[in-house]
Every structure is written in structure tokens, then in C-alpha cells.
Structure 1
Amino acid sequence: MQPQQETFTREQVRALYDRPLLPLLDEARRVHLQHHPDNEVQLCTLLSVKTGGCAEDCGYCSQSSHHETKVNAEKMLDVDEVLASARRAKEIGSTRFCMGWAWREVKDGPAFERILTMVKGVKELGLEACVTAGMLTDTQAARLKEAGLDAYNHNLDTSRENYRSIIKTRTYDDRLRTIDNVRKAGITVCSGGIIGIGESANDRCEMLRTLANLSPQPESVPINALVAIEGTPLANMPPVDPLDLVRMIAVARILMPKARVRLSAGRTSLTREAQMMCMYAGANSIFYGDTLLTTPNPEEADDLELIRAAGLNAMPPQVEGAPTTHTAAE
């Protein structure tokens, strides 16, 4: 019989978050080493398959049709373009290929059929396949599972209490419902949040507590720092303190010991030392490639140098045959 999963209280999570940073990092590192290789980081590539024109009003997003940004609505990429990008991702050492659609929700029809074809194609290349495309029904989730989808990303973004100040076009329960549909279909859950969007420390803790209290916990937890984009309601938010990002990753690692914690958006504003602290705190995945949907990301060469300097190895591909380890020196 599986041991019953611990349910965390608000007070427990806030006490953890408020620990002095160095003891917090020591604890996070101890937990990390119990559940993960100490020198491995997964490289993931994220491609925007359908850019702009989204009906949601997320205050941080350049792709919302509610905001006047430099991102214009574009047609969905065709299957060949997406699979060419996936091949390139594999060539540079990524083992997970994530595909994003700027949609409020997935709708049945030709576009959804193309998603299924793309997922099958990515899997045939020997890559993990992840999709993020908004709200999803249980039937759609089942079809994605049948196509071979490994993970579906649907971030909570922030706490339930703070959610309405950031997004008004859907509810927190809409988000949780999609996550539940994904879980019931047997697809792994990728869900995290963003800091720097005007939230309080309690909001940060509540977001992590909500994720940690899901049963089972998410297998993948991206932690993002806001990339302030001109034309969005959050364009003038102050930069995130890098140590706040380190703290969030450490708390996420302790609360969700088996999850792959992903150091996601906002890395271009971090020094390599700050990124190494995030990895020490338990981040064992980065998004790899020069663009994260529509926001900048570090250059590939810079990331390989970061991995080398930190003494890490890129996670080898999980495909048939003997695995090959990609190191920063390759």
C-alpha cells in the first residue's frame, strides 16, 4: 500500500518559505539528492506553434488579444515545420519538446487533429512530448494520451486569492479542472507559476501549497520570473530579486521532492551564479534555445557553458538502444 501523501497547511508552507536562506538551501539540497541524480539537468525546447491572438487576458502575456503588444496573431505552424524544430532540438541535446498554442481552450476539429499528428511525430523522434494549449476536456485529454503525449502544461500562475487580479477570462477552478482531466487520462502534469506579478509572499506560498497538495503531485513544476513586456498590464513591474527565485525553487523542491523543478522564464535577467544557486536549490531542468514562446532565452552556447561550469551533465535521451550522455563539452 502506498503511504498517504502529506497535506500541507498554510502555516507549514509559510514557515518553510520564511526560513533563513542558507539553511533552506541545505534542506532543499538534501531532499534533491534523495530523489534525483546530483549532476543531471534536463534540456527542454519550447516552440510556439500558434502565436498571438489569444482570447485570454492574462496580464503578463504578450500573446493576449486584449493587449497592445508587438506580438501579432499568426497562423498555426504546419506539421513539417514543427517536426523540423523537434529534430533540431534533439540534435542540440534536448530530450523534451514542448509545443505551445496561444488558445483559451482546445477545440475539436482539424487543428486538434494536427496537434495529435505533431505529438505522434515528436514521439517517433524519441523525444518526450509536452503540449500547452489552454483548457482541455476529458475526451481531448484521452485522445492526447492515445497519441503518446507525455505531459500537459497548465500553470496555476499564482494563488487562488491573487488570480483574479491577473486573469479575469477564466477561473482558478477552470485551471484545476483541466489539470484533473489531464491526470485522469494518465498524462503527467506540468504545472507551476510566475513570481514578480505583484503577488505577496503568501500568494507564492499558496500557489506552491496548492500544487503540493494535488494527489498525486505534479511530475513537473516550472518556476518562472516575470518577463515584463511592453503593452501588457504588468509592463512596469520591478525586476524579480534573484534570491526570491532561489527561495521559491528550494521550497518547491522540499514540498514536491520527486518533481522535476524547471528553471523557466526570466533567466536572461539572471547571472550565471544566480542560475547555479537555483540548480543547487533543486532546479534540474532548463528551457534550451534562444526563444521561450515569444520571450528571449539565453543562447545555447551560454547554457552549455553554464552546465559545464556547474559540473553538470545534460540528461541523456530515453530512447531505444544505449543512451548517450550529452555533456557541455560536446
Structure 2
Amino acid sequence: MGNWKELALEVLDGKELSNQEAVEILNSPDEELLELLHGSYIIRHHYFGNKVKLNKIINAKSGMCPENCGYCSQSSISNAPIEKYRMVDKDSIVAGAKQAYDSKVGTYCIVASGRGPSDKEIDTVIEAVKEIKQDYPLTLCACLGILKPEQAARLKEAGVDRYNHNINTSANHYEQITTSHTYADRVNTVMTAKEAGISPCSGVIIGMRETEKDIVDMAFSLKALDADSIPVNFLNAIDGTPLEKTAELEPRYCLKVLALMRYVNPTKEIRISGGREVNLRSLQPLGLYPANSLFLGDYLTTEGQDSSADHQMLKDLGFEIDIKLPEASL
């Protein structure tokens, strides 16, 4: 390929990448990496300028999950020494929202382990969401597992803006990662959220012994799903999980994956998510040329980079934090 700027301009004119072009991005020589990132930045800047969306997670329910996802320290087959607790109370979720807002975060993500939420857990989330919406101009995202249509409708009515349910990997590779639910279950939950009028968020985990074809399939599957937000996680292999000691990623390849996601999904929020610190390492800032979103602070059971370092990184890049302002200050 080589002419990544020309391809970017074609994408802006409405071109959709072919599978072959997508593979060429992943296989592009390192000598072309800066050109590839420049091309992806042309697309990113066209739709998002130099703004970066910040996201923050609260792990509202940890561990004790009956699913057997091979990457997850909270799964039934994990021996990882993590903290385990049932759904926190409403006040704890609201307090997390205040911390997020004080950190200039725009999207606050309420995450709970498990196959899917009980009605009581939905009640707790709804109570918290209503209070948060009164006090903070945050985009609220819920990530609670497989969702029933009536639960989705209640979350929408309460004020939940976005629902996250990652496809995680390709349909072809799915049974190598988990067998306690199917790829179709994941897709159906994303569709359930969309049908309720909630913005769909769905992403991937790279580095789970998948092939390049699997990664390309993920990018096009997310395009077909029309996910508004696409978190790109890079496996942080946790001891005690089936994927422990898996270390197959290097920073330049991670950047090519982010570029691929931008070329295939040009108008979408591409978020650098879990595992960026251990996989992108010193090249983290370059990831924000294709991506326009970032998780701030800690993840579910692993620590993230210090928030002050992320704020400094954005300042050094000359990027602007994209955050809603209270109506009174508009």
C-alpha cells in the first residue's frame, strides 16, 4: 500500500476499506508507521479535531462471575487473587461520579461482573443514575452483562446514555475464549440496547492468540453493529487466568490495530482502553493520533496509569479534553 494519506482522503470521501486493505494496515512495515498514523489522524481530526474524551470506570460489583471467559480475573475459572464483593450501594456509585467529574471525565462507566444484572441490581443503578444526572453533566454508561429488553428500557428511562457490551474477539475465535455464552449473545445484547434507544458501545481485546484475520473481522463486525464507541483493549494477561503469561503484542503493532479501527470506523469514538500501559508503553501518546478517547485511572481489577500523567500527556500533545460543562456555565 504505502500511500496512507491518499487512503485516508478516500475514506473521508466515503470509501469503505476492503479486507485486503485492512490486512495491509496490520502488515505495514514499521518504516511506514508514522505515515500510517498521519493518515489515521487526518480521519480522526476531520471528525473530532484535537479533542479527547475521557472515561472512568467504577467496578460496582467484583468477582463471583459464573462465566468462563479466559481473559478475566473475575470469571469462575480464575484463580487470580482479586477483591470480591456484591453490588455497592447507590451512594458509592454517586461518589465515583463526583470523582470522575472532578478529574474532567466526560463519560462515567458503571460496571458490574456477572452474566447479567438482577432486577435489584438494576434498581440500584437506576437510583444512582437519577441522582448523578441531577448533579453532574456526565455521559453515563452501564456495563452489566447480558440485558433483557425490559431492563434496557428501564435504564434508558432513568437516564443511561450508553451501554457497553464488548464482542471481545471474532465470531470464529469466540469458543477459544469462552463457552458459557456465545458471540451471538454478545451481539444480541448490543442490539437490545440500541433498540431501547441507548447508544451502543462495543469493543475488543487484542492479544488473545487471535489471528490477523480475526482482528480484521472484529473491525468490520463493529462497523456492521454501528457501535458508537469502540474500546480497544490490549490483553493484560493476569496470573491465575487461562491466558496468563500470554505476551504476544508489541507497541508498534498495537498502533497499527488502532489505525485499522480508525480507517474502518472513521466516524466512531475509538477508545484506548485496558492494557495500554503494559502494551503501548512509551508509545502511548502516539495512540491518540488514531484514537480520540481514553480510559482514565484504574480498570476493573488492574491498575492504570496515574491520572496526572494522562493529563500531562494530553497537554504535551496539544490536545483538548472534551467535556460537557454545566448548563449554568454555558
- Structure 1 window deviating more from structure 2 (109-118 vs 180-189): it is 109-118
2:168 counterpart residue number:
157
1:116 counterpart letter in structure 2: I
Q: Which runs of 5+ in 1 are unaligned?
A: 324-330
Determine helix, strand or coil for the equivalent of 1:152.
strand
2:130 counterpart residue number:
120
CA contact (8 A) 1:103 1:134 kept: yes
Q: 2:260 aligns with which of 233, 251, 268?
A: 251
Q: 2:51 aligns with which of 40, 59, 72?
A: 40
CA contact (8 A) 2:235 2:274 kept: yes
**Alignment pair present for 1:297 and 2:304:** yes
Q: CA deviation at 1:13?
A: 3.1
2:320 counterpart letter in structure 1: N
Determine helix, strand or coil for the equivalent of 1:129.
strand
Q: 1:166 aligns with which of 151, 163, 177?
A: 177
Q: Deviations over 1:253-297 (max 9, x none)?
A: 1111111111101122256641111111x21111112x1011110
- The TM-score with structure 1 as length reference comes to 0.90
1:31 counterpart residue number:
43
Q: Deviations over 1:120-173 (max 9, x none)?
A: 223222111001111011221111111111110100111111110001100000
CA contact (8 A) 2:115 2:146 kept: yes
**Alignment pair present for 1:241 and 2:272:** no
Q: 1:285 aligns with which of 269, 293, 309?
A: 293
**Alignment pair present for 1:218 and 2:227:** yes
**Alignment pair present for 1:314 and 2:321:** yes
Q: CA deviation at 1:43?
A: 1.4
Determine helix, strand or coil for the equivalent of 1:296.
coil
Measure, in 1, the Cα distance between the counterparts of 2:195 and 2:189: 10
CA contact (8 A) 1:220 1:261 kept: yes
Measure, in 2, the Cα distance between the counterparts of 1:191 and 1:102: 16
- Structure 1 window deviating more from structure 2 (122-131 vs 185-194): it is 122-131
Q: 1:133 aligns with which of 144, 164, 179?
A: 144
2:6 counterpart residue number:
none
Sequence identity percentage: 33
Q: Which runs of 5+ in 2 are unaligned?
A: 1-13
**Alignment pair present for 1:186 and 2:188:** no
1:191 counterpart letter in structure 2: S
Aligned length: 313
CA RMSD in angstroms, aligned pairs only: 1.8
CA contact (8 A) 2:26 2:253 kept: no
Determine helix, strand or coil for the equivalent of 2:176.
coil
Determine helix, strand or coil for the equivalent of 1:213.
helix
Structure with greater helix percent: 2
